Structure 1
């Protein structure tokens, strides 16, 4: 009897189902990893250049420079632009800490602009008022898988002396903005290959994309301790290389990435339809954009109680992000905190539901039923 009950029990709902993805791609991923083990070029092996070429072609950008993480991609971009002490970088407080962290590590000051309340993306209409002679970059974040209003942001940057725009696209690789791919909509685009991202490896990894030859050269040198050639250092750099094995994993995952992107879009639409009228507030996706739903995020009241109730029904959830950066102890900025009310409102209400390309219809039905049972 116990064995029968166990056999008929519904499958566990994974918040992000990386195991199912691996099973689908196991043969290719295993072969690619073993190829690296066979040739032994674990640092800057042939798979690195191969991956960079394929990713550049995918985005339409001229250059792809892989690196150790999405965080490193942001730092390397700031360094390539020569940003340092006394400079300011405009960004959003509603993001992961790495966004502001890299600005501060570069020696600059993050200047916070509030978000749109329905998308959680930086409000482009509020950026211009924050520009000063010290503004050396604008860093919008493509959050939850959707790109910010990059045309408006680029136009503002152009009006003020062509300020460089760095898209923090850690969560949006594969998304489109007016027909262009995320990571190819501004001066620089930075993405992450952290395992849970839309395109993830099996460790840390990231990349910077640009159409600027000079910036690409600087980034490649910065990535290897500022070397123009071996032991000839032309600039300050970092140890920012992406491991060959991680590039091999990405090459394997690219084989079905188009399908995964389409599947994420379809699942996001299915969630939207099934949660309509449930009492939870849904994120907006602008008509000229696609969203790859790095996290399927909604707004809820009484979040703690709802998370506990969902967990009791076997539905995992997460919060991205519970405290705005300008309220974090190390990045606290009381002046900007008073002006970023939408960010604080969202931080108290956002909750992410299970999402991955391998989320099944039966699993989604259980998630939706559980959410509806609590409203």
Structure 2
């Protein structure tokens, strides 16, 4: 048996370790939700909505089935749809684009800052078209986008500004919480997120009463009152159990994020000065929750294979930019259109990151990267 195998696999994220630490309280919360006999929305979801809104410092938080549906419902509730374009980043999970398309709008893209890999405000302004009605800024890997610059641009050009905060629960932008920086923000509580449910879950944060009402209506068959349908809107309601799970986890989020930041500092120390390896930079005034810890290397694919052979389960976020995805059909872009994002897609690599990660695991992962550099 190899040394790596004997030491065990280092997963990208370890949800079993988190559950073991929460088991008594989590089991009680889930059993209570089941015993309540309410399985859709209900008191557990309502309590989490109040608590997460207070955590973010916004008036409203409205839960729904996923982060993807949160984007679509948010945009629809804000009045965006067919004939409108929404500008976003090509370097993100494709769900950002899917949410725009599901709202009936069309995605357009601008290139990213080579240091942070978030939207470059100067490139955003250059990419605006007459049909662009909104900017959807993604807080990639947990680091907030430059919302001050984007907000100034949006005001100057008469645009709406929204956040895709799927990866940014607990992140901070110059003293304000990510998710409280635009007209509204979408969140994902996919299990692997910093604040994750035990299944798909999402929601929308906003200070806008009309947007909050619209999302509540759109998630629930177009109803404000049962059996009185104002819209044919579909069903995006959240399960009661997920509200209970998130309610147990929310008080621990800040502590978990502190642990992630500590792990990121240790990675940076252990990986400093390795030829060919660089880091995604954290911009001044931003406090990332380090949903992912991402490095860059020109021989990324070879490095990934090397690490996995040593039981370090690194991964790629994301290997193909959104504008090049086949799903876009006639709106699909061309290679070279957004060179910074496309170069990042060829180089980025996510190393294992979760609160329960040990110093020994970090050192083992870092040692494997160093071994690759020496090979």
- Could you state the TM-score of these two structures normalised by the residue count of structure 1? 0.95
Q: Is 1:247 the equivalent of 2:243?
A: yes
| Alpha-carbon distance in 1 for matches of 2:15, 2:205 | 26
Equivalent position to 1:176, from 169, 172, 179: 172
Match of 1:301 among 298, 301, 307: 298
8 Å CA contact 1:69–1:193 kept in 2: the answer is yes
Contact 2:324-2:333 within 8 A present in 1 as well: no
Deviations 1:275-298 (A, max 9, x none): 111231101001200111111111
- The corresponding residue for 1:61 is 58
1:185 matched residue in structure 2 = 181
Alignment-derived partner of residue 292 in structure 1: 289
- Structure 1 equivalent of residue 351 of structure 2: 353
Structure 1: 5+ residue stretches without partners: none
> How far apart, in 2, do the equivalents of 1:338 and 1:370 lie?
33
TM-score when normalising by structure 2:
0.95
Q: Which residue of 2 aligns with 1:265?
A: 261
Map 1:1-375; keep pairs closer than 5 Å.
9-161=6-158, 163-279=159-275, 280-331=277-328, 333=331, 337-375=335-373
Q: Distance in 1 between matches of 2:349 and 2:333?
A: 27
Tell me which moved more, 291-300 or 349-358. Answer: 291-300
Q: Are residues 134 and 356 of structure 1, via their aligned partners in 2, closer, same or farther at CA, if it must alter by over 3 Å? A: same
Distance in 1 between residues matched to 2:251 and 2:20, nearest whole Å: 14
> Partner of 2:326: helix, strand, or coil?
coil
In structure 2, the gaps of 5 or more residues are none
Which has the larger displacement, 125-134 or 256-265? 125-134
CA RMSD after TM alignment: 1.7
Mapped contact 1:115–1:342 kept (Cα < 8 A): yes
Q: Partner of 1:373: helix, strand, or coil?
A: helix
Deviation (angstroms), 1:91: 0.5
> Per-residue deviation at 1:337?
4.9
Q: Number of paired residues?
A: 370
